[in-house]
Amino acid sequence: MRLFSQCQGPHNPVPRVSKPKILLQLDGDSHASSFDAVVAIDAGVDHLLSHATVRPENVLGLVHGCMFTRGPDDLRHTAIFVGGSDVEVAEANFQEVCKSFFGPIRCSVMLDGNGCNTTAAAAVLAAGKHVDITAVTALVLGGTGPVGQRVARLLAGNGAQVRIGSRRLERAEATCSELGKLTAVNREQLTPIATHDGIALDTALVGVQLVVSAGAAGAVMLPATNRAAAADLQVAIDLNAVPPAGIEGVEVTAKAKSMDGLIVHGAIGVGGTKMKIHKAAIRQLLQTNDAVLDAEEILAIGKRLN
């Protein structure tokens, strides 16, 4: 193991100059995301240390290298971004980062594998412009996936009644149980619901004012006929950016657009907000050395921007 120390003591007469801002990018993919890299640079990062193919067993050394090279006053100028297209790998790496800290000897860290947190936060903010989140009943299609789970927990955490939709009910139930363990979420506000066919979908949509589709690319989560039959629906947000649309008829660039009596947003339509949140989160990472930014904290950043 490397030797280390907090190197500059109070006896150092050199006037303090702010250290360069360093972001350690831990990415699980074969090539670290250029998207996350450009956003980091545009958020003011001076030096990006990008690492690809990062697995939990690689995390400790990389995090300790950041923790033990700057004194406590300067650790806020070093931060960690955990990304990559595989959200499960990113989550495992993120947990490992958090376990690597020694009490106050730590760096700020943000999780945004596949943009899951910034996307979910942007979707919830978009919805909140049209409905009262604290009183709404929402259906999250693809609610067991990484983005869907985050949309669900953010909605529920802000007071909504949330139906977590999945083709397989038992998966929806498992997700409700998991999310119910989070301190930010009241299990009572989550309901698992099956969405395996049109009849199930119609049932799932009864009393729902807000639907968010967070399914995998390539799947039509809500056909137009079922959408049209949803009498209570007011707002539909589709987070799929690749054709076909997850919510049939919603254009990817739609932004608070009226369509068949609904207000709809497409993936690119919420992308502007997502990007602003992402940049603001990176900036916040570099303000202190103790931020831990997961879904709730990233939504809070988004709320302050709005």
Judged by the rule CB under 8 A, the positions of this chain that interact with its own copies are 1-7, 9, 19-20, 22, 24, 30-39, 41-42, 46-51, 53-54, 58, 61-66, 68-70, 78, 85, 114-115, 119, 122, 217, 239-242, 267-272, 274-276, 279
Shortest CB 97 distance to its own copies, Å? 12
Q: Which is nearer to its own copies, 43 or 205 (CB)?
A: 43
**Prior bond of 244 cis (ω within 30°):** yes
Q: Which is nearer to its own copies, 114 or 144 (CB)?
A: 114
Q: Which is nearer to its own copies, 20 or 198 (CB)?
A: 20
Displacement of CA 264 from its chain's centroid (Å): 21
- Residue identified by tokens 């360093």 is 22
Q: Which is nearer to its own copies, 229 or 280 (CB)?
A: 280
Shortest CB 128 distance to its own copies, Å? 17
In what side-by-side order are the strands of the sheet with 47-51?
47-51, 22-27, 78-83, 108-111, 292-293
Residues pairing with 110 in the sheet: 81, 293
Shortest CB 13 distance to its own copies, Å? 14
Shortest CB 306 distance to its own copies, Å? 14
Shortest CB 239 distance to its own copies, Å? 7
Shortest CB 100 distance to its own copies, Å? 12
Given a contact cutoff of 8 angstroms between Cβ atoms, the answer to whether 293 and 301 are in contact is: yes
Q: Which is nearer to its own copies, 60 or 199 (CB)?
A: 60
3-state secondary structure 122-148: HHHHHHHCCCCCCCCEEEEECCCCHHH
Q: Which is nearer to its own copies, 222 or 254 (CB)?
A: 254
Shortest CB 266 distance to its own copies, Å? 9
**13, two tokens:** 């007469």
Q: Measure the CA–CA gap between 76 and 106, rounded to whole angstroms.
A: 9
Q: Measure the CA–CA gap between 104 and 15, rounded to whole angstroms.
A: 24
Q: Which is nearer to its own copies, 77 or 163 (CB)?
A: 77
148 burial (CB, 10 Å; 0-12 / 13-18 / 19+) is buried
Given a contact cutoff of 8 angstroms between Cβ atoms, the answer to whether 202 and 226 are in contact is: yes
Bridge-based pairing of strands 257-259 and 262-265 is antiparallel
